[in-house]
Chains A and B, each alone.
Chain A
Amino acid sequence: MACMLEAPLRISVLSEVTATSRHYVDRLFDPDPQKVLQGVIDMKNAVIGNNKQKANLIVLGAVPRLLYLLQQPTSSLELRTECAVVLGSLAMGTENNIKSLVDCHIIPALLQGLLCQDLKFIEACLRCLRTVFISPVTPVQLLFTDPTVIPHLMSLLSRSQRTQEYITQIFSHCCKTPEHQMILYNHGAIQNIAPLLMSPSYKVQMQALKCFSVLAYENTQVSMTLVNVLVDGELLTQVFVKMMQRDRPIEMQLTAAKCLTYMCRAGAIRTDDTCIIMKTLPCLVRMCSKERLLEERVEGAETLAYLMEPDVELQRIASITDHLVAMLADYFKYPSSVSAIADIKRLDHDLKHAHELRQAAFKLYASLGANDEDIRKKITETENMMDRIVSGLSESSIKVRLAAVRCLHSLSRSVQQLRTSFHDHAVWKPLMKNAPDEVLVMASSTLCNLLLEFSPSKEPILESGVVELLCSLTQSDSPALRVNGIWALMNMAFQADQKVKVEIVRALGTEQLFRLLSDPDANVLMKTLGLLRNLLSTRPHIDQIMSSHGKQIMQAVTLILEGEHGIEVKEQTLCILGNIADGHTAKELIMTNDDMLQKIKSYMGHSNVKLQLAATFCVSNLIWNEEDGEEDAATAHKGDDTGGNPVARGSQERQDKLREMGFVDILHKLTQASDPNLCDRAKTAMQQYLA
């Protein structure tokens, strides 16, 4: 019964509200301009802080009328200003409000309004524009559509503290791409905004600072300009350093540190500059401390990770600063059991930030451990670290997974960690799960390291069907995934037993293998050649593989040697030939191919020593005597596990044939080569003739 009574009541309340809202809108159409003005003012007072009222007015069509009044040249300035104020108030509501406003073309109307001379009106328009532009639902491109807008905004910067605050805030929110950066830069953003850093208004200072952080981000040109800017006779970097003083508001310290970080990463400040080592880095570490707000800790950690990513010295300093590694462990403790009991609001807050905290911590760990073995050890020794990574790899949030796998990848560069903690925690398991490409790139890259021959994880990974996974990666559209897939296979094939090699060839299929040999990505090609080389090592393997795929392989080799490729590719290919030449039966594939022999001969006389070396190595294998088997001719690369006895009965024949073709003369010449390696190798080969 109660429900029955309540329903109609609610409807009547709603209709009442709509009725009053209707009244407000109706008054906008009054013929008396004075009454319209009063109507707008009343509307302003009615909507402040009242989201329902705002939504009602928008539904009832107040916006187009307000915009009309705002643009009408016959409207009084006061009316136009009040309209802008009401629109600004409506924009303060929900995202839906903003969408409706943008749909009504509020942005061009307000931008047009900025051409007016009246400061109050301009400020009201800017305030509304600001509110609209900082919303995530507004396409930032709308600021850049009209090329006259940015220069006009620059000129308005001098009008008042309010215009300064709003315009810089619009800039810092709308500058999202390198193109945006350059538009602002080319319109004098730096010169116009730099003096605002000294503004007496904290808000203006902060927005100006934020502007510089978005302008400098990954932009060398802007950053290079910034380091030479003087503000009140002081270098901008010094101004930023002052803003990082520990008694300044946290927001200011953090944003100033971001500016310096971006300038440093863009190459405008050296990583060993005092302002980076002694000021920015410690400031960012402080931002990670427990005393800071969760948002600040996230931003601090991410910025710090970005700052030190390429510099091992910064990584070393950060790793000893304020127990950073241990401090980060705390990032995983949200929501804590305490927060759940304490109050529901806190729990909600913690939950909201928990993912962000975790991914930020993983990123920072990844950056910290990128280069230094001791730091990696310190990280893996942090309480529950490996468990956290493993569970991070399986989280639903892609951001967390990606950061976790990045962290794992960074740690996987350590031989010692691969041998110990990685194996203990079976970290490879979650890596093999299907995931979005961005995660897979990192995961497969990590797998590459886990499949290195000394990794104890190699065996269990193999058993879990990694070959299929990697082979499927080589078919990906993403070059990064193809590289990682073939790279991991290459690592897997290194010194592998026959069974594994056969499995790889089977799973990959020769067709795919040859497709990869013509891959547009040079990296893919190199790793595929590497895989071939690793497959073609130790004599029985060489003979077996060549007996089943010899023809295609020889074709592919010919194709590459004839194609337009870099020295490294050709060198790798010649090494494959060298390996083939080491087989018992396989070498006949070369000996019977005069065209190939001619190619080898010409590479022996190539201008590049590396190619000469590889070709000589190949010839040396072809003429090898069975008696003199122990000397290892394969020294160039890992995987060149060749050297040994050619078939005795054929060696004389081959020697004769090669002599006829003029190889001996070339070898003889090469014994005089200036390169000692080449010289040695030629001598070794010549000895086979003498034997």
Chain B
Amino acid sequence: SLLSAPIRAAHHVLTTNKRPPPAPAAKASTAMSGQSSGCGFLTSVVVHGDSALSEQEKELGRRLRRLYPAVDERETPLPRSWSPKDKFSYIGLSQNNLRVHYKGHGKTPKDAASVRATHPIPAACGVYYFEVKIVSKGRDGYMGIGLSAQGVNMNRLPGWDKHSYGYHGDDGHSFCSSGTGQPYGPTFTTGDVIGCCVNLINNTCFYTKNGHSLGIAFTDLPPNLYPTVGLQTPGEVVDANFGQHPFVFDIEDYMREWRTKIQAQIISRGQGLKVGNNSSPFSPDRMVASYLVHHGYCATAEAFARSTDQAVHEELASIKNRQKIQKLVLSGRMGEAIETTQQLYPTLLERNPNLLFMLKVRQFIEMVNGTDSEVRCLGGRSPKSQDSYPGSPNPSPSHSASIHSLASPAKPSGSHSYLPGFDSSCSNGVAPGRPHPSAHCPKQLPSTPSNAELNTINSVRSQQANACTSGDIDMEVDHYSNGVSGSSSNGFLNGSSKHDIELEDCDADMDPALPRRQLCGGSQAAIERMIHFGRELQSMSEHLRRECGKNAANKKMLKDAFSLLAYSDPWSSPVGYQLDSIQREPVCSTLNSAILETHNLPKQPPLALAVGQASQCLSVMARSGIGSCAFASVDDYLH
């Protein structure tokens, strides 16, 4: 019944992959009005059938993400409209709670009325901006535009009370928590667009009129202010733009200035960090060294340690073992990787059945891919190629690309996820940017028919990835000169040369011909082997469940893997991403970390820890109202 399972799974995948149906309007608006509702960010003000509006919503989402990339809306939703709950009764809202009109008597200042936005301005915006267009100045044009804290009396214009700030149209004065205004700017009236910008880095605010900055109005602003407007006489109508439309004022230019300022500050602070002081594990030298060791770049690590006078905290042999296993994983040789791990670290996988399961699932995927050696043998290819290229295999994508994979934002910052995906950036032989002397760098050429055939089972991406192989060659050459290596071509102390040679074969696939992608490389025997393996995996999963209880992650992993079989061309299927060689990287790093742990070495290198700490620090800053976090994204520094 194995074959039926993936089909079910496929259905499941297909349905979950669809966009969730849009929330009904009624539900949406309740969510909007709920001030404390933490999930308001996802709700929309879509009215049934109005596609133009949902387009506007989409644009709003896009613009807000672009303006405030550092804001985590699950934690701190951005204001998207006025709140129907947080307003005085003389205020009427329409047009999806963006238009405000006055519906009181407007006889005395006691008839003033205000409305706040649905959410306060998150500090992680760094710089926040909204605009209000005066649709009509009404009888006297007593419009006030500004900011106020939660709970400030709404029967007033913004600016009159403590924690309330406003700029008034009738006299152009600014009101800073006081009933008497200060001369500030020009008056404003029907047709004018007034903008309000809050700088959460220096806690100031300035206004704009028709796109012209009017200068600082308020300083020392408290945190968590809401966009607020107030009206006082009949006929006054204003429209808000929280990002629904392009702004009249070029706020992005202003943000650029502040981003540059913050980044210049960071760089000037960083210059104080002198390379050479190695007393702390977080000194730059030691961070670099431990990073290299962690990922098994032994020659580089050695050279670096030599030149910076450090000791390497792990035996070279051990580093090379790990490196070897990593290479197997990254080239898709899962079966051999598991075997080698069991040989070198006999108790590791026994004690860690979930890890073993993960490796096996990956092996299954590689079988589908046609890269695992078990199916490759069955594919009728000669496992031992006669031409041994000295080049070492490395199908992982280039280093910088893999570092960027951790740029994936919005990872939940749980206790152990300091480093979303950081470990995936492993296993390139050489640190990026190092110039490679090319004397020992024979290009890998597809000179044999068997190699040409091999191409067919490799995805295009892994071919491209081979472009960085030359770097690794240098490294291997270093091994020879270090005299550590045995006689095998790749210099692995414990490696079986047979495997090594195979590895080279499979990676000597620089043929630019388009790969012919077939299930398990197209061999019937291989398919049977794969199906058999799948059954084993199924029973292993059941066994695991009995032994260790349910495990949602494992279940999903297996389902996703099996789903591959539901498609005639798994590579272009919705679950096809699993076949991508980049998916080997998390597996590789998990295995690497597990091995390191058995040696009482840190699961993560201090460098990764530091990066994680920096990211975490930024989210703490966001929560503590320190706006400069908006312009200090860690990703900007991981080139």
A contacts, CB < 8 Å to B: 245-247, 278, 282, 317, 320-323, 327
**Chain B contacts for A317, CB-based, 8 A:** 212
**Chain B contacts for A321, CB-based, 8 A:** 212-215
Interface residue? B420 (CB, 8 A): no
Complex Cα distance A317/B216, Å? 16
In-complex Cβ contact of B256 among A247, A282, A323 (8 A): A247
A245 and B256 form a contact (CB under 8 A) = yes
B185 to chain A, nearest CB (A): 6
A323 and B214 form a contact (CB under 8 A) = yes
Given contacts A247-B259, A247-B260, contact A322 B253 (CB under 8 A): no
Interface residue? B480 (CB, 8 A): no
Complex Cα distance A323/B174, Å? 13
A229 to chain B, nearest CB (A): 24
Interface residue? B547 (CB, 8 A): no
**Chain A contacts for B206, CB-based, 8 A:** 322
B209, B212, B216 pick with most chain A CB within 10 angstroms: B212
B contacts, CB < 8 Å to A: 185-186, 206, 209, 211-216, 250, 253-254, 256-257, 259-260
B211 and A322 form a contact (CB under 8 A) = no
B257 and A282 form a contact (CB under 8 A) = no
B215 and A246 form a contact (CB under 8 A) = no
Please give me the residue from chain B that is nearest to A283 by CB atom: B253
B254 and A246 form a contact (CB under 8 A) = yes
**Chain A contacts for B185, CB-based, 8 A:** 320
Complex Cα distance A255/B256, Å? 19
Complex Cα distance A245/B254, Å? 9
A323 to chain B, nearest CB (A): 4
Given contacts A278-B250, A320-B186, contact A246 B214 (CB under 8 A): no
Q: How many A-B residue pairs have CB under 8 A?
A: 34
A377 to chain B, nearest CB (A): 12
**Chain A contacts for B212, CB-based, 8 A:** 278, 282, 317, 320-321
B186, B206, B214, B215 pick with most chain A CB within 10 angstroms: B215
**Chain B contacts for A247, CB-based, 8 A:** 256-257, 259-260
A278 and B211 form a contact (CB under 8 A) = yes
**Chain B contacts for A322, CB-based, 8 A:** 206, 213-215
A248 to chain B, nearest CB (A): 9
A-B contact sample (8 more), CB < 8 A, given A246-B253, A246-B260? A246-B256, A247-B257, A247-B259, A247-B260, A320-B185, A321-B213, A321-B214, A323-B214
Secondary structure class of chain B's binding surface, majority of residues? mixed
Complex Cα distance A246/B214, Å? 17
In-complex Cβ contact of A323 among B209, B215, B259 (8 A): B215
Complex Cα distance A282/B253, Å? 12
Secondary structure class of chain A's binding surface, majority of residues? helix
Please give me the residue from chain B that is nearest to A319 by CB atom: B186
B129 to chain A, nearest CB (A): 14
Please give me the residue from chain A that is nearest to B248 by CB atom: A278
Complex Cα distance A399/B593, Å? 73
**Chain A contacts for B257, CB-based, 8 A:** 246-247
B204 to chain A, nearest CB (A): 13
Among all A-B residue pairs, the 5 with the closest Cβ atoms: A246-B257, A323-B215, A247-B256, A322-B215, A247-B260
Complex Cα distance A383/B35, Å? 46
A43 to chain B, nearest CB (A): 37
Please give me the residue from chain B that is nearest to A378 by CB atom: B183
28 inter-chain pairs at a CB distance below 8 angstroms, sorted by A residue, are A245-B256, A246-B253, A246-B254, A246-B256, A246-B257, A246-B260, A247-B256, A247-B259, A247-B260, A278-B211, A278-B212, A278-B250, A282-B212, A282-B213, A317-B212, A320-B185, A320-B186, A320-B209, A320-B212, A320-B214, A321-B212, A321-B213, A321-B214, A321-B215, A322-B213, A322-B214, A322-B215, A327-B215
B57 to chain A, nearest CB (A): 28
Please give me the residue from chain A that is nearest to B184 by CB atom: A323
B211, B214, B253, B259 pick with most chain A CB within 10 angstroms: B253
**Chain A contacts for B260, CB-based, 8 A:** 246-247
Complex Cα distance A317/B212, Å? 8
B247 to chain A, nearest CB (A): 12
Please give me the residue from chain A that is nearest to B253 by CB atom: A246
Complex Cα distance A323/B186, Å? 11
Complex Cα distance A321/B259, Å? 23
**Chain A contacts for B215, CB-based, 8 A:** 321-323, 327
Complex Cα distance A334/B480, Å? 70
**Chain A contacts for B256, CB-based, 8 A:** 245-247
Complex Cα distance A247/B260, Å? 6
A321 to chain B, nearest CB (A): 5
Complex Cα distance A278/B211, Å? 7
**Chain B contacts for A282, CB-based, 8 A:** 212-213
**Chain B contacts for A278, CB-based, 8 A:** 211-212, 250
A257 to chain B, nearest CB (A): 13
Please give me the residue from chain B that is nearest to A381 by CB atom: B183
A202 to chain B, nearest CB (A): 15
